Amino acid sequence: MKKYVPIVTDDPQDNVEAALNLVFIKDEEVYVRGYGPAPDFSDATLSNVTRDILQKYSPETLENVRLKDDLELSCATSEWLFDGIDTIEGVVALLYTMAWAFAETRERLRMYEETRLSPLDLKDRLIAPFQNDMFAMVWGAFKKLYPDKECEIYWEPQIRDEEDGKPVYGLTDFADDGSVAVFVKPSLEVADAVEVLAHELAHVAVGIEHDHDEVWQEAFDKIFEEYNRIGNQKFPNGEQCVMDDPDEK
């Protein structure tokens, strides 16, 4: 079976990746990558790109219709769709609609690629009752960064260090058969348990040969940053629990 290669990326490296990620959603608004004005060619909102096209090919439309407001522009494009491709407004409306629809589809694909589970798969899993489940977000951050790394995770009240037998808060077990299991102590505070899970997932990411060295630290920092990015994206009003920076404790 051919290996699945993730499509969604915020840092496209070639023409194909750039095309597949040309439009995206940021701060609840659709953007077109690299379509801002010269010489920077920064990312531009779909609304502004649409206005630029109209200004170039149908300036009278901008003069005759109130399109400075994004909602007004959206309503106008819905009407222009009935023109088909017989008018420039109809063509613009078609491009506008395809762009926001593609951006929405991309976000749904991102959710799949971060969990690697289809909606049918999710039905067969235990679903957390919390909308802002921190464990789900840290796992999503880990899978976004390291999609090829696999492990099973368990609560374990009697975790002990394999070398000296002392109790520990978390443990990653690299078995001889190549499987990896992560254990977290369930008596921890939730926020502490999430940080312990991120700690252990960093071990999964870099392998048994890296034990709290610079390579492991880099992986942990990436998971920490991606976790907070996911939380801020899904809950922009602060409903999620942001993981504290361990370096500031």
pLDDT in tens, 128-184: 778 788 999 999 999 999 999 999 999 999 888 767 777 889 999 999 989 999 999
How much of the chain exceeds pLDDT 90, in percent? 60
pLDDT for res 183: 95
- Cα 72 to Cα 21: distance, rounded to the nearest angstrom: 26
pTM: 0.52
Number of domains in the chain: 2
Q: Do both 201 and 96 map to the same domain?
A: no
- CA geometry: angle 240, 242, 245, nearest 5 deg: 175
Asked whether residue 10 is assigned to any structural domain, the reply reads no
- Cα 81 to Cα 174: distance, rounded to the nearest angstrom: 57
128 DSSP assignment: P
pLDDT for res 132: 83
pLDDT band at 1 (very low <50, low <70, confident <90, very high): very low
Range name among 129-133, 219-223, 242-246 with the lowest pLDDT average: 242-246
* Residue ending a domain, choose from 86, 115, 144: 115
* Residue ending a domain, choose from 88, 115, 142: 115
Q: Do both 134 and 230 map to the same domain?
A: yes
Domain range for residue 74?
A: 15-115
Q: Do both 156 and 222 map to the same domain?
A: yes
Asked whether residue 98 is assigned to any structural domain, the reply reads yes
Q: Do both 138 and 55 map to the same domain?
A: no
Q: Do both 133 and 111 map to the same domain?
A: no
CATH number of the domain enclosing 184: 3.30.2010.10
Q: What is the pLDDT of residues 19-64, one digit of tens each?
A: 999 999 998 899 999 999 889 899 999 999 999 999 999 988 887 7
Q: Do both 177 and 242 map to the same domain?
A: yes
CB within 8 A of 245, min separation 6: which ones? 224
> β-strands 23-26, 170-174: how paired?
unpaired
Q: Do both 133 and 217 map to the same domain?
A: yes
- Find the mean pLDDT for residues 197-222: 95
Q: Do both 242 and 155 map to the same domain?
A: yes
Q: Do both 186 and 135 map to the same domain?
A: yes
- Cα 138 to Cα 69: distance, rounded to the nearest angstrom: 38
Q: Do both 84 and 177 map to the same domain?
A: no
pLDDT band at 248 (very low <50, low <70, confident <90, very high): low
Q: Do both 65 and 37 map to the same domain?
A: yes
Q: Is 160 helix (H, G, I), strand (E, B) or coil?
A: strand
Token reading at 166: 């002392």
Q: Integer distance in angstroms from the first to the last C-alpha of the chain? A: 46
pLDDT for res 27: 85
Asked whether residue 192 is assigned to any structural domain, the reply reads yes
Q: What is the pLDDT of residues 66-86, one digit of tens each?
A: 677 888 889 999 999 999 999
Asked whether residue 203 is assigned to any structural domain, the reply reads yes
Beta bridge mates, 26:
29
